[in-house]
Structures are given as structure tokens and as C-alpha cells.
């Protein structure tokens, strides 16, 4: 959500952002509805003022009827205004590539050599089964499609990844948090995880939980710790001297994956639940500072991947693949030999004040002025795809898997995964 005053003053720039992001929003219609809404508000206030002054009973009665009619018109205009405002995008950063879709994203960094094997390598499904560390059959029996059990050293590997990433965040000055994974809809709307103003199960990859008590507010399972971490300061006015605020949240994550029907159906590449360490930053409304903070987060995740010895690359997301609220985004992709492809392991996003306006997160600057904060988030590390990366990249001819040195202390000192 943008400031309507900003939209009025920068109409052409917003229209260009709508075009570049491939959105179907009629900005002229929004501006017309805004004008109608303001006119109705002004007329309503004028009638209220006259009602307080008039002593003529007939005139008072007429004013009352006119006010009721205006109230209805204003309600209709306000609903359309809110619906259209929800669709207004953040203008992308000047260095964001102009492109139609994901095919036009740009690789900006690459690290590590993709492995060459002198034997026929296995994919993570074969390795997980032969090493008895992933049970797919009982996972499906228990949880249905995309269900899985991590077991033995597979379970240790997942926890090792999380502890490694979580401790790395603490070392870098991020406050460790284990936030709720069951949250209210206002926080998913506020952070942009609803594609519309309300939850739509046909397009939103979010699970809604049925309440056992009548009238209880609806709750949802998060797909990342980001909404819960952002909710922590929602509705609050912070002090500039306390910014930036840096959180690192560990959570279980749940995603319905409704948009990926038929895609990547085997293994743990695309699953309904997993674990992740997420970073969230609340900064003052300063673009250079938020750019610097985003770079800091990207650099930390690069460091994590390199300490895990995983071949990876960083992709800058183009306008057509950038969601409405985002100013700038980078994705991380790890090389998976078994799938012969790069696979996304996370992303770093800068929303400027788009989320803060929805979540009402403000701060008071040095001059006493209240401003909406800038909000950023970044995936430090999830579990499934890095697990795939480790199994497939570090497999040996004898069928074992070498454990990256950075994880060995979390796995009892073991240097290999073996049955």
C-alpha cells in the first residue's frame, strides 16, 4: 500500500510500475474514486456542520435524509477505494531489471564448482532411502501427498542446518526469536501473503485452521516466520534511535503449494511443511540505509552457503517477477546434481513502507515527526533444498554423504552420513 498523496503526485511513475510488474490495475479509476470519496466526505462534513446550526425542523429532517444517502454512497466509494489501493505496487528500485517474467531475472553472483563424479550419482530420493534417513512411504501414509519423515542422521542434519543458521544470525547481531506459527489474518494481509484483501483458498498458498469455538477469529498457519515477526511491532510507534531492529526467527513453515499442482511431486523438493530461519529488519525510512541492510542480509546468507560448501548463485529479480509490494529482491539458488538444475533456497526482499502502512508500524524521527518504517526480510536458510543439496553434491562412491565441516559439531562430530 502506498500513500495516496504520493500516488497523486507521482501518477506516471506508479503507472509505469504497474506496467513493468504486469499488474491489471486501472490507476485512473483509483484516482477518480479517490476524488469522489473526498468530495463525499467534504459534503458529509458540511451537512453535519449545518445540522448543528439549524433550528428549522423541516430543514433538519431533509439534512438527515441527505446525510443517510451520502453515507451509503461513501461506503460504496470507500470499499472500491480500499480494493484498488490494495493493488497499488511499490515502484521498483532503479537497478531492478525490466523484464516480463522469471526467465528475465539476472544472475549477479556465482560461487563454487558444480561437482563431477567418477561414478553414477544418485538423487536425494535414492540416497535418502538407501541411507535410511528419509521415509517417503510412511510420510505419505501419515500426512498425505508430499508428506515425509526425516529420521536418524536425516533428522540430525535438518536440526544441524537450523542451529548453524540460527547461531550465525545471533553472531551477526540479530535477536533470536521463536514466534507463533498460528496467527490472525490481519498479519498475513499486512505482510502481503494474501493476493487480495481477504483470504482466497483458491490462490493463497496458506492453510486456514478451523476454530473449535464459534465466533473465534480465524487463524492461519504461516509459510515463514516473517508475518509473525512483523506482527511483533504492528500498531506501535517506535523511536528512531532504536532502529534498525533486527530479528532472526526459527519456525515450522506450512504451504499448501496449490499453485504447483503436478510440479516436483517426488522427494522433498516441494513440500507442505518444513523448517526455516528467517531474518526481518525494521529500518527508518531511508532508501540508502535499507539498501545497505538488504546487502548485509544477502551477504550473511552467501556466507552461510559458502560455509556449507554448496555451489550456489544469486539472482536479481526482474520487474515482471517482482510482487506488488516489493522494491527490490534477490533469490538464492543451490545446484542440485540429481535434478540437474538450480533450485531456489530463499530470497531477500525490501518492501520500503508498503508492509508498514498495512501493519501500522511507525517511528518518531529526530524532529518528532511520525513516519512509516521500511521493512525487509530474508531467508537465512530453510531445510528441504539445502538437505537435497548436501546429499546430492557430497555423495561418495561408496554410497555415503560427506557432512560439511560447519555442521559436524551439531551432528555429534560425525563426518559422514552412513547407514
Find all residues with CB under 8 Å of 58, minimum gap 6, and list them.
Answer: none
Instruction: Collect all residues with Cβ–Cβ distance below 8 Å to 407 and sequence separation of at least 6.
Output: 157, 160, 161, 164, 308
Residues 230, 233, 234, 237: what is their CA dihedral angle, to the nearest 10 degrees? -140
CA 200 to CA 71: how far, in whole Å? 29
- Collapsed DSSP state (helix, strand, coil) of residue 415: coil
pTM, to two decimals: 0.93
102-417 — its CATH code?
A: 3.30.930.10
The string of pLDDT tens digits covering residues 343-366 is: 999 999 999 999 999 999 999 999
Question: Active-site positions?
Answer: 255, 270, 344, 347, 385
DSSP 185-222: HHHHHHHT-SSSSS--TTT---EEEPPSSTTPPPEEE-
- Grid coordinates representing 183 are 496467527
Per-residue pLDDT of the chain (419 residues; tens, 9 = 90+): 899 999 999 999 999 999 999 999 999 999 999 999 999 999 999 999 999 999 888 999 999 999 999 999 999 999 999 999 999 999 999 999 999 999 999 999 999 999 999 999 999 999 999 999 999 999 999 999 999 999 999 999 999 999 999 999 999 999 999 999 999 999 999 999 998 889 999 899 999 998 777 778 889 999 999 999 999 999 999 999 999 999 999 999 999 987 666 677 789 999 999 999 999 999 999 999 999 999 999 999 999 999 999 999 999 999 999 999 999 999 999 999 998 999 999 999 999 999 999 999 999 999 999 999 999 999 999 999 999 999 999 999 999 999 999 999 999 999 999 98
Find, among 278, 262, 282, the residue nearest to 270 by Cα. Answer: 262
The values of phi and psi at residue 339, to 5°, are: -105, -5
Q: What ranges do the domains of the chain cover?
A: 4-85, 102-417
Please state which of the four CATH numbers 1.10.287.40, 3.40.50.720, 3.40.50.300, 1.20.1050.10 is assigned to the domain occupying 4-85. 1.10.287.40
Q: What is the pLDDT at residue 260?
A: 62
Q: Which three cell numbers stand for residue 375?
A: 521493512
What is the Cα–Cα distance from 332 to 343, expressed in whole angstroms? 8
> How does pLDDT run across 120-136, given as a tens digit for each residue?
999 999 999 999 999 99
Amino acid at each position: 500500500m502506498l500513500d495516496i498523496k504520493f500516488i497523486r503526485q507521482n501518477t506516471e511513475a506508479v503507472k509505469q510500475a504497474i506496467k513493468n510488474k504486469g499488474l491489471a490495475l486501472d490507476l485512473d479509476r483509483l484516482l477518480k474514486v479517490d476524488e469522489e470519496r473526498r468530495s463525499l466526505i467534504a459534503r458529509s462534513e458540511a451537512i453535519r456542520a449545518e445540522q448543528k446550526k439549524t433550528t428549522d425542523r423541516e430543514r433538519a429532517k431533509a439534512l438527515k435524509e441527505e446525510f443517510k444517502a451520502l453515507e451509503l454512497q461513501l461506503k460504496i466509494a470507500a470499499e472500491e477505494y480500499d480494493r484498488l489501493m490494495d493493488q497499488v505496487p511499490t515502484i521498483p528500485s532503479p537497478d531492478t531489471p525490466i523484464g516480463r517474467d522469471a526467465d528475465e531475472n539476472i544472475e549477479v553472483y556465482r560461487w563454487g564448482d558444480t561437482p563431477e563424479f567418477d561414478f553414477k550419482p544418485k538423487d536425494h530420493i535414492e540416497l535418502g532411502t538407501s541411507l535410511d534417513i528419509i521415509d517417503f512411504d510412511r510420510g505419505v501414509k501419515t500426512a498425505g501427498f508430499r508428506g515425509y519423515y526425516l529420521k536418524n542422521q536425516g533428522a540430525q542434519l535438518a536440526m544441524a542446518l537450523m542451529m548453524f543458521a540460527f547461531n550465525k544470525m545471533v553472531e551477526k547481531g540479530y535477536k533470536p526469536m521463536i514466534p507463533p506459527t498460528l496467527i490472525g489474518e490481519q498479519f498475513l494481509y499486512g505482510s502481503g501473503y494474501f493476493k487480495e484483501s481477504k483470504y482466497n483458498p483458491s490462490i493463497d498458498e496458506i492453510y486456514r485452521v478451523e476454530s473449535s469455538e464459534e465466533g473465534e477469529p480465524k487463524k492461519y498457519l504461516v509459510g515463514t516466520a516473517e508475518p509473525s515477526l512483523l506482527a511483533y511491532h504492528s500498531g506501535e510507534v517506535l523511536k528512531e534511535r532504536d532502529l534498525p531492529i533486527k530479528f532472526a526467527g526459527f519456525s515450522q513453515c506450512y504451504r499448501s503449494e496449490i499453485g504447483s499442482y503436478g510440479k516436483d511431486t517426488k522427494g522433498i523438493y516441494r513440500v507442505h511443511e518444513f523448517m526455516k530461519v528467517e531474518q526481518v529488519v525494521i529500518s527508518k525510512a531511508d532508501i540508502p540505509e535499507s539498501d545497505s541492510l538488504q546487502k548485509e542480509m544477502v551477504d550473511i546468507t552467501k556466507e552461510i552457503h559458502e560455509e556449507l560448501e554448496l555451489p550456489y548463485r544469486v539472482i536479481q529479480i526482474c520487474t515482471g517477477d517482482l510482487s506488488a509490494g516489493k522494491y527490490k529482491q534477490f533469490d538464492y539458488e543451490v545446484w542440485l546434481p540429481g535434478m540437474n538444475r538450480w533450485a531456489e533456497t530463499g530470497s531477500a526482499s525490501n518492501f520500503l513502507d508498503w508492509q508498514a502502512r498495512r501493519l501500522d508500524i511507525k517511528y518518531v524521527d529526530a524532529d518528532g515527526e511520525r513516519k512509516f518504517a521500511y521493512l525487509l526480510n530474508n531467508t537465512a536458510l530453510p531445510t528441504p533444498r539445502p538437505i537435497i543439496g548436501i546429499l546430492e553434491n557430497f555423495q561418495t562412491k561408496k554410497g555415503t554423504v560427506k557432512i560439511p565441516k560447519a555442521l559436524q559439531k551439531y551432528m555429534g562430530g560425525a563426518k559422514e552420513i552412513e547407514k
